[in-house]
Amino acid sequence: APVAVALRPALTAPADRTASEALVDLLDAEQRELCVTGPDGRIVGLLSVEDIAGGEHSPFALRRAIARAEDDEALVATLAGGLPRLLASLLSAGLAPADVTRALAIQSDTATMRLVDFAFHRHGPAPVAWAWLALGSVARREVTLASDQDNALAYADEGGDEADAFFAR
């Protein structure tokens, strides 16, 4: 029989964990499979994202497409088509509403990181230390398709006018 070798510690979940919770765990960990454990801690099975919400409308497929978008327009097109299909897929898989909104929040985070990448590509590296802050529904992990974006930008004040001008762009 074939033998699988783990290259990193395996993500695990107890057998009484719901499919919704397991899917969000997989998405958060950026992994596609987890080991299901019994009450004694022994592995009793393997669960993949395809077992829960597979195919091209999975949260993993959309996240990968977002991360691979080549520019702003491609990203917008990916989100416009992918988010409604993802929502339908997650709901049809029977995920709890709170888990659906958490999965959408992860997609929002991925899109935001990609947009930040595009900005740095256009404008160069930041002149000072900085942090992007997700606020509101994204921070609460309660994103819906109708959510707005509440964000903040914090950066070191040691850069003076140069830093202000950079982040204004």
Q: Using the Cα atoms of residue 110, residue 111, residue 112 and residue 114 in order, give the sign of their dihedral.
A: positive
Q: How confident is the model at residue 167 (pLDDT cuts 50, 70, 90)?
A: very high
Q: What is the pLDDT of residues 59-108, one digit of tens each?
A: 878 888 899 999 999 999 999 988 888 888 888 878 889 989 998 999 99
pTM greater than 0.75: no
Please name the helix (run of DSSP H) or strand (run of DSSP E) that holds residue 109, with its range, or none.
Answer: helix 97-123
Task: Report pLDDT for 33.
Answer: 87
Q: How confident is the model at residue 22 (pLDDT cuts 50, 70, 90)?
A: confident
- The one-letter amino acid code at 95 reads L
- Among 117, 58, 113, smallest CA distance to 86 is for 58
Residue 3 reports pLDDT greater than 60: no
